[in-house]
Amino acid sequence: MFRPFVFIEHPSFLEHDTGGGLHPEVPARVALIRQRLEHGSLASSMTVRLPKESVRADLLAIHDESYLFRLEEACLAGQTSIDHPDNQISYESFDVAQVAAASGMTAIDLLETGQASSVFCSVRPPGHHAERSRALGFCFLNNVAIAARYWQKAYQRQKIFIIDWDAHHGNGIQSAFERDKEVFYASIHEHPTFSFPGTGYAEDRGEETGRGATLNVPLPPGAGDEMLLEAIRTKIAPAIEAFQPEALIVAAGFDGHRDDDMSGLMYSTAVYQELGRIMRHWGECCQGRVVSILEGGYHLEALAASVEAYLVGLVGFETGEK
């Protein structure tokens, strides 16, 4: 039997307005994911849950208070972007970003209280580029980093492994934990020479006491499924094996898909099912404590199909495995 899973989203995710036009980070991203899942093979095993209210203290574990005020003020004052024209905002964006950040924390609550065995957070805006005091790359609050700190604080799971296979390097997650040996950040992304945001070189292995708890695996433009799976098998799997985490957070970005023009990576839809299977397998090592949080993915049809493929692998639907 496959395991029922919880899908976390909130109607407000449609209200973060990036100005229309050509901005790729649009409300239709999450709307289409929901629609696809509701009409697909996973529909009958999916429970939709709303995130709880976010608590400021949890945001402050990752972001400076002055930044939170600055972001809130920018939204309420009617600014259309913050820190860079890429980071489009609307009046609602600060509230929506807080709901997105709360989603990962809600997912953790559901897992830890036995209310879910598998959780996916379909959130926007994304988070992995957001720095302590700066918005970057469509990201405002670092959803994954906030979730990791929450897991430590609320449930005393100290050793957290974050795997990020978005096409881009999660600079914000790395900088949040590069001096921390208890949160391991592993990222597979298009090589920084060719790709935004220009960080994530293989030489970056963490700083000071966190040295060795950061792992960057850059792939050349044009890299496809084989190179991705090889990187997971030969680089990431040994790292997680050695680290022995108590919980796993997946920064689940789908912009490495071959139809997505935000990167030169050439992943197929099918490889995301394989990623789901691998994440499920890794999760077994930490009693199923796996939370996946949506990051990028901008080709709408490819995004929705890839999320579905990922979840099929993650919940074990395709093989009937428990």
Binding positions for Zn ion, rule: CB under 5 A = 166-168, 253, 255, 296
Bridge-based pairing state of the strands 84-88 and 81-82: antiparallel
Report helix, strand or coil for 214: strand
Q: Specify the residue, 245 or 296, whose C-beta has the smaller distance to Zn ion.
A: 296
CB of 161 to Zn ion, least distance (A): 20
Closest CA to 94 of 81, 121, 75, 80: 75
CB of 206 to Zn ion, least distance (A): 22
Q: Would you call the peptide bond into 197 cis, given omega within 30 degrees of 0 as the criterion?
A: yes
Catalytic residue among 63, 129, 169, 299: 129
Closest CA to 278 of 250, 255, 302, 242: 250
Q: Specify the residue, 296 or 316, whose C-beta has the smaller distance to Zn ion.
A: 296
Q: What are phi and psi of 302, to 5 degrees?
A: -65, -40
CB of 18 to Zn ion, least distance (A): 15
In the complex, residue closest to Zn ion by CB: 296
Sign for the CA dihedral angle at 54, 297, 110, 145 comes to: negative
CB of 253 to Zn ion, least distance (A): 5
Q: Which ranges of 77-218 does DSSP label H, i.e. alpha helix?
A: 93-112, 143-155, 171-177
Q: Specify the residue, 37 or 139, whose C-beta has the smaller distance to Zn ion.
A: 139
Q: Which residues have C-beta within 8 Å of that of residue 79, sequence separation ≥ 6? A: 89
CB of 195 to Zn ion, least distance (A): 9
129 is catalytic: yes
Q: Specify the residue, 109 or 255, whose C-beta has the smaller distance to Zn ion.
A: 255
∠ CA 24-202-293, nearest 5°, is 40
Q: Specify the residue, 83 or 295, whose C-beta has the smaller distance to Zn ion.
A: 295
Residues involved in catalysis: 129
